[in-house]
Amino acid sequence: MKVLVPIKRVIDANIKIRVKSDSSAVELNNVKMAMNPFCEIAVEEAIRLREAGLVEEIILVTIGAPQCQETIRTGLAMGADRGVLVEADNDTEPLGVAKLIHAITLRENPRLVLLGKQAIDGDNNQTGQMLAGLLGWSIGSFISKLEVDGDNVNVVREVDGGLEKVALSLPAVATVDLRLNEPRYASLPNIMKAKKKPIDVLTPEELGVDVSRRTRVVNVEEPPGRDAGVQVSSAEELVDKLRNEAKVI
């Protein structure tokens, strides 16, 4: 079985986000970038499936600037086999991303597409669902457990009411959540091997996909600061503050 894993290059999760002085976007110059944490989990799960003898090839795909090859190399060092970079704007909308991955999926013909449930920059949580709709495939989202059983994929979804077990028919799309696994660190030998693994570079035009934006960012602002908390000596004082100061009850 072949698995396709879309990944994204984002600002490192440990870096404090700064807004540009003109409030047009988030500052990306001289900022440390890394693979989206949810994407790392998807790559790790694909590698574990291959180690279990269920997967023959793992293909990474990302959309963005040429620097995104660094992110692909990170996934190749973890254990993926090859990569595909579609050179496009870093702020390509989820629908455009889904259309590009759809085109790559038709080219590569995988049985399973594994991707993070969302990217930590836009937090849209849309690409996986849109991709499944474009492909007409079954989808399991917010997955915390995944097992391949023949032509089915049994998954456990994290939903508001707890956990939900779903059986998906292959081919399928799965979006992974934090508790699925813990990604491995790439070893030095694998980092060196990753430099020789192939990365195909394509453009949206070559794939026949229109990625023009359909929305416009009006303004970007940092969230307002929060007042420091205070300690109360009794439940009565807490209720009084909630009623008369916070006015929430």
Tell which wins on pLDDT, 228 or 112.
112
pTM of the predicted structure, to 2 decimals:
0.87
What's residue 154's pLDDT? Answer: 95
Count Cβ atoms within 10 A of the Cβ of residue 222 and give its class: 0-12 exposed, 13-18 middle, 19 or more buried.
exposed
Q: So what's the pLDDT on residue 245?
A: 86
Q: Contact, 204 vs 7, CB < 8 A?
A: no
What's the chain's Rg over C-alpha atoms?
21
The pLDDT tens digits for 147-168 are 999 899 999 999 888 999 999 9
How far is CA 203 from its chain centroid?
21
Delineate the domains of the chain, giving CATH numbers in brackets: 2-244 (3.40.50.620)
Quick check: 70 and 46 in contact, CB under 8 A?
A: no
